[in-house]
A and B are shown apart, each in its own frame.
Chain A
Amino acid sequence: MTCIVVLAPAATASFAAIGTTATVVVSDRSAVGTAVSMLRDDIDALDLACSRFRADSEIRAVERAGTATGVGQTLATQIAASLRAADLTDGLLDPTVGSCLEALGYDRDFGQVADADDAVRPVPAPGWRSVDWNPRARTLRVPPGVRMDLGSTAKALAADLAAARIAGAIDGGVLVDLGGDIAVAGPAPDAGWRVRIGEAPDRPGPIIAIRSGGLATSGTTRRRWRRGGDLVHHLVDPATGRPGTGPWTAATVAAGSCLDANIASTAALLLGVGAPSWLEGGRLPARLVDTDGRARTIGDWPPEAVEG
């Protein structure tokens, strides 16, 4: 189903895709059809290449092969990004957490994940260094038993790529939002792209404006379910296979790309008390919310305006 809502002066279109909502906003209203078509194509390609829930996806085929397998450009780009994320975060983000998530019960589209009475039996991630990626030959080998999950990077990178591609094809600027991972490209509106920070369903956050790059929020208040007596969520510590614990329930980061914003926001939650200094060291403006609902801003994050 496609729902189109026009907001002056930009045009917005949203549709359901890959278990979430995809939204594209263009400053040139006449370009919205083109933008939607291009975004749909990119999402289709992403899903076919990277989904761990589709038996016919390319990543699942590579897992089954167990040997070095040539991959298409979409998967190659995503694999490279996921390994870079693992490298930059010292393994906090790890594309081999698929088996961890399956052990927690997240083994199908999230909408179909159900609470269960059996207790969690966590499985640590095999580790991203076990994956053999050859960028020159564009081949990937995933050791037997390793399940890949590109969820920490795939949507964010796809948002970046789609925004860049759409901006190259239309007049004006574009914002692409894939389930809250936001990338912008091309000329920004005079007042910037206005983005509300939606840290929790019952607590809408402030609105800020960005003009380039990307913005991402990671949090533990959504995509969570019950196993045994425990409330679990999808942000897994690869070292333990358990959902991450720490002082933050949400982290929003602005960066030069949506991919980097999402890497940083996810890593910040898993870093815990070390997150503020890590973000400051990276000159990444951020907003962290703790378990009591108190917000802490980092670096050049703007002061929060009063809504009018």
Chain B
Amino acid sequence: MDQPAERRDAAARRARLVARERGLARASSVTVRVAVAGAAATVAAAVVFAQTPPSTQAAAGPVVPGAAVPASGATVATEGDGGASRAGPPGTAGTDGDHLQPPNAVPEPTSGRHHHATSSPS
């Protein structure tokens, strides 16, 4: 890639980052629920995480109507659910995050060599 193209690419990525952070900040008055337990809930989480709501009031209802909100361990609360400043309070991360969430569907046995990814020590 030539240098002008690299500069354009870098500028575009910086702009996306700024826009992304701005969108997240506007959504910070709501509980950010990370859906990992189904397609509908995933859409709901993505709406909160990825979109910039028109106003903080509008952001108060990020869940797609009818979508189940999973009791995901990744649920994270920001403003609106906390109390006074506390050091390491229990339940810091969310109202339903007070235990590690088991999988909705248990892992399944499979055979063959093809795999999509490898879970290795990180």
Interface residues of A (CB under 8 A from B): 7, 10, 12, 20, 23, 25, 40-41, 44-45, 48, 68, 72-74, 76-77, 80-81, 83-84, 86-88, 128-139, 155, 157, 160-161, 163-169, 173, 175, 177-187, 191-199, 204, 207-223, 250, 252, 254-260, 262-264, 282-285, 300-308
Contacts and interface: CB of A to CB of B under 8 A. Distances in A.
A254 to B, nearest CB: 5
Contacts of B92: 80, 83-84, 87, 133, 135
16 contacts: A10-B116, A45-B21, A72-B24, A72-B25, A81-B93, A132-B86, A167-B46, A175-B117, A192-B108, A193-B116, A193-B117, A213-B103, A213-B104, A256-B102, A307-B111, A308-B111
Q: Which 5 A-B pairs have the closest CB atoms?
A: A168-B46, A219-B121, A256-B101, A84-B93, A260-B73
Contact of B109 (A138, A186, A304): A304
Interface in B94-117: 94, 97-117
B17 A87 contact: no
B88 A45 contact: no
Contacts of A308: 111-113
A303 B109 CA distance: 6
A187 B84 CA distance: 40
Contacts of A175: 116-117
Interface residues on B, range: 35 or more
Contacts of B117: 23, 25, 175, 177, 182, 193, 195-196
B50 interface: yes
Given A135-B77, A157-B34, 18 more contacts: A74-B21, A83-B88, A84-B91, A129-B88, A134-B82, A167-B43, A183-B36, A193-B117, A196-B115, A197-B118, A198-B119, A213-B104, A256-B73, A256-B101, A256-B104, A282-B99, A301-B107, A307-B113
B12 to A, nearest CB: 10
B90 interface: yes
Contacts of A303: 109
B68 interface: no
A284 B73 contact: no
A298 to B, nearest CB: 11
A304 B109 CA distance: 6
Interface of B: 13, 16-17, 20-21, 24-25, 27-28, 32, 34-39, 42-43, 45-47, 49-50, 70-74, 76-94, 97-122
Given A81-B74, A180-B120, A195-B117, A161 B102 contact: no
A182 B119 CA distance: 7
A212 B99 contact: no
Nearest to A197: B119
B112 to A, nearest CB: 5
Nearest to B85: A134
A131 B102 CA distance: 28
Contacts of B27: 73
B122 A155 contact: yes
